[in-house]
Amino acid sequence: MLAAAVTNARLFRLSRIWLLALLACALLPGSVMSGPNGLAGAQAGEIERRGWLSILVGDAPPGAGQPPVIEYMLTDGYGLVARLVIDHETALALAGTYVTVTGRLSETTAPGSGVEVIEVTSVMAAEAGVFALPEAQNVTGSFPWVTLLCRFADDPDVPHPPDWYTALMGSDYPGMDHYWREISYNQIDLSGSITAGWYDLPQAKAYYAQPNGIIDWNRTLNDCTAAADADVYFPDFYGINLFFSSTLDARAWGVDGWGVSRDGQEKTYAVTWIPSVWASHYGVAHEMAHGFGLPHSAGPTGATYTSQWDIVSLSGCRVYHPDFGCVGSGTISFNLDHYLGWIPEERKLLVPPGTEQIFSLERLNQPQGPGYLMAQIPISDSETRFYTLETRLFSGYDQNIPGEGVVIHHVDTERRDPSGLPGAPAWVVDGDGNNDGNDDGAWWIPGEVFLDPVNNIEVAILGAEGSAFTVRVRNNAPPSGQTLVFAPAQDAHVNAAAPDRVYGTATSLRVRGVSSPIYNSYLKFDVVGINAPVQRATLRLFASDGSASGGSVFAVSNHYLDTDTPWLETGLNWNNAPAIGDIPLATFPAPVANNTWIEFDVTAAITGDGAYSFALTSDTSNSLLINSREASENPPELVIETSAETAGSPTPETTETPPEATPEMTGEAPVDELPPVTPFEPDPATEVVEAEGDRVVRTAGWVVMNLPEGASGGAYAINTAVDDVIVLPFVGMRVEVAYVQGPAFGNFTILVDGQPVQAGSTPHL
């Protein structure tokens, strides 16, 4: 298959050519190839050739809206090239193989370009003879490149002196040696690389173009290496960078296996052809990545030059070098693992179907901690379709990524574009459905959840600490009941120094102990819809201003002190607040940073439907400020997970899960006392309630519960996966689900009386 070049951390040098183009390309035919590998054994009217079969991929630049061009090439031991007319599957199966090709010379072959076109009738693997493809080699150690500077006979002016290219390839930041050392976790380097030139080519620029204007790779490579042959011993090098004095076709090209015969040895080299317009850090790193066998990745729609998460896609330009332009970013975990083998097995987590894992995901670039560097989530039992997870932070060469968080890619190693040709295997997952893989919908932070309900896959970002995120993945795990998220019905803090004052409308809850004044906070939740044993209940609070401790949580009365009157935030003060006992439900003793979630296990307090009140206290003199339910974002939450058993039935034995294993759903509407709800059964015949362009309001696929006519409040339930339902309270008359369909993923929004209160992302339903 295309680019499937690494097995067990070994790089097989497939002859694949990749290009970065300013214009769409279509390779026009050339003249007849002749040479020692031309054979006479073909039938009448046929010719026979031997060489390495390679797949040429041509891509238009970002924003051009043009599909890639696929060409199939044969390169012999003398660097002579033929274009093959052959079906894709046959070429894919033999890519990188030394083959014998039989076919007829196409009538479209044009004299004078050094390229012939063969309509293939048969092809089979052959012995390479004197020009053997090198054995697979470990992707570790030194990979020296020779950088050749060549100027056309009629274009003597040069864009930079040789020292500029030496620095670009050097070991000081941001030189290519420095770059690849960091990207590979110091598993490779470019030690021994040299720069040679400028050399004068024997012909004018026009000679080095094919009839269609595209650079003639063979002529430029042969003449440039010939000009340098007296100064360079080519077999010492892994790759050859070719820089030219000016631009021929405005394209940069790269291949990880091209036959060159120099210094008495026939050898395959990684080769790049880089015109002056692409002589930048990003452009050179991109083409050298192809030289190491990496394919393009893509944004959410499959467009190759849109993802700033990967050097082999677009890369950002937040960091600009005064000499070398936009500094390229790193690459994605799929490339580092699948093609290059640079992620150790012990730092890669596989989450097979039917399992759940909670783990620490360390940042991919310049890791600081011991967590996993990537996670892979197979889709069903497929070996070719899966999700990858990686943590990306602003560190090292990742300074030019769009943002910080967990990045998800949907990978299909057999992916095809709309025309049936190979496409980029890894696509960024876009959480907000706007098809922008570089905005905040493309990185996932604590409190956010990715759902694939079709395959029953859930990825929840539970927290962040240092350079890692805590992540929970459920991959089609056995039914685990429901996950219910409740907003507080009441919350307020009280002040010992102002015992009669009421703070119920404040947007923050305050907690402080030890020194005066002392503040305690209270929260009340109305829990409905518990129809199975509670497995876990977690109180989640967002600290806008941290403290030395997260404090302790206590279960308290639902009533004012020494009364039977339910307490309300509009009447609660220090004097009438419920009494606080001596034994807390949970304590968060660690320091709390600003703008982070903290969690308390309150499972012991939750037994079923009903009202539940909690008090939060502190034993430090430094105030902790927590968003209240009146805050514009991140209000408190009570997250309740129930088992798959119905209430009253036997509970199976379960494995204890760490208390932080709680999902996060944001945007629920606050609610007061909730009356019972009546399930709303959608009519399949009227699934589409409203349609406008690609926006539809659906009821099929979700169970929407509304109150009987005339009521004003209730709850709705969303079936996000098999036996996985979100139930959220609301105040209003009508709940709708708006779903926007994208090419691979869509986003849904829950609206109450037309106002959005909940959002998420799913693949196609």
Query: Taking all residues of the chain, what is their mean pLDDT, rounded to a whole number?
Result: 77
Are the CB atoms for 239 and 271 separated by under 8 Å?
Answer: yes
Can you give the residue range of the structural domain that contains 698?
678-763
Kindly report the CATH number assigned to the domain that includes residue 18.
2.40.50
Residue 716 resides in a domain: yes
Distance between CA atoms of 452 and 225, rounded to whole angstroms? 52
For 343-353, what is the mean pLDDT? Answer: 95
Q: Of the candidates 49, 50, 69, which has an alpha carbon nearest to the alpha carbon of residue 59?
A: 69
Does a structural domain hold residue 672? no
Q: Are residues 184 and 279 in the same domain?
A: yes
Which residue has better confidence, 405 or 290? Answer: 405
User: How does 320-336 read in b/e, with b if 16+ C-beta sit within 10 Å?
Assistant: eeeebbbbbbbbbbbbb
User: Is the same domain home to 366 and 471?
Assistant: yes
Any domain includes 298: no
Same domain, 148 and 282: yes
> Is residue 139 over pLDDT 90?
no
Domain match, 742 and 612 both: no
pLDDT score at 25: 30
Q: Is 141 left (phi over 0), alpha (psi -120 to 50) or beta?
A: left
Whether residue 495 is found in the same domain as residue 518: yes
Which residue among 459, 475, 491 closes a domain? 475
- The tens digit of pLDDT for each residue in 495-515 reads 999 999 999 999 999 999 988
Task: Say if 173 falls within a structural domain.
Answer: yes
Q: Quick check: 712 pLDDT over 70?
A: no
Q: Six-digit token pair at 635?
A: 């209000």
Question: Residue 382 corresponds to which tokens in the numbers above?
Answer: 């497929």
Q: What's the average model confidence in pLDDT over 589-600?
A: 90
Q: Check whether residue 102 and residue 196 sit in a common domain.
A: no
59 and 205 housed in the same domain: no
pLDDT score at 72:
83
Q: What would the pLDDT profile of 541-576 be if each residue is shown by its tens digit?
A: 999 999 998 999 999 999 999 999 999 999 999 999
Give residue-wise pLDDT tens across range 224-237: 999 999 999 999 99
Residue 299 pLDDT grade (very low, low, confident, very high; cuts 50, 70, 90): very high
Whether 724 shows a pLDDT value over 50: the answer reads no
Flag whether pLDDT at 99 surpasses 70: yes
pLDDT digits (tens, 9 = 90+) for 656-687: 222 222 223 222 222 222 223 233 333 333 33
| pLDDT one-digit tens code per residue, 6-57 | 222 223 233 333 433 322 232 222 222 333 333 334 455 788 888 878 776 5
Instruction: Establish if 349 belongs to a structural domain.
Output: yes
Residue pair 246/279 in contact (Cβ under 8 Å)? The answer is no
Residue 235 lies in a domain: yes
CA torsion angle 191 195 196 200 (round to 10): 150
Is residue 668 in some structural domain?
Answer: no
Given 94, 125, 156, the domain boundary residue is 125
Give the Cβ contact number of residue 367 at 10 Å. Answer: 18
Per-state percent for the chain, helix, strand, coil, to nearest 5: 10, 40, 50
Residues 622 and 513 in one domain: yes
The answer, yes or no, to whether residue 751 has pLDDT greater than 80, is: no
pTM over 0.85: no
| DSSP calls for 422-484 | B--SEEE--TTSSS-TTSTTSSB-TT-EEEETTTTEEEEEEEEETTEEEEEEEESPSP---EE
For residues 453 and 437, state if they share a domain: yes
- Residue 733 — very low, low, confident or very high, per pLDDT cuts 50/70/90? low
Q: 532 pLDDT exceeds 90?
A: no
Given the DSSP bridges, would you call strands 251-262 and 16-21 parallel, antiparallel or unpaired?
antiparallel
CA–CA separation, 501 vs 577, rounded Å? 11
pLDDT reading at 697 higher than 50: no
Whether 490 and 569 map to the same domain: the answer is: yes
The tally of domains found in the chain comes to: 5
Specify whether the CB–CB gap between 720 and 759 falls below 8 A.
no
* Domain co-membership, 624 together with 714: no
Q: Specify if 559 maps to a domain.
A: yes
Asked whether 644 and 534 are in contact (CB, 8 A), the reply is no
Rg over alpha carbons for the chain, rounded to the nearest Å, is: 32
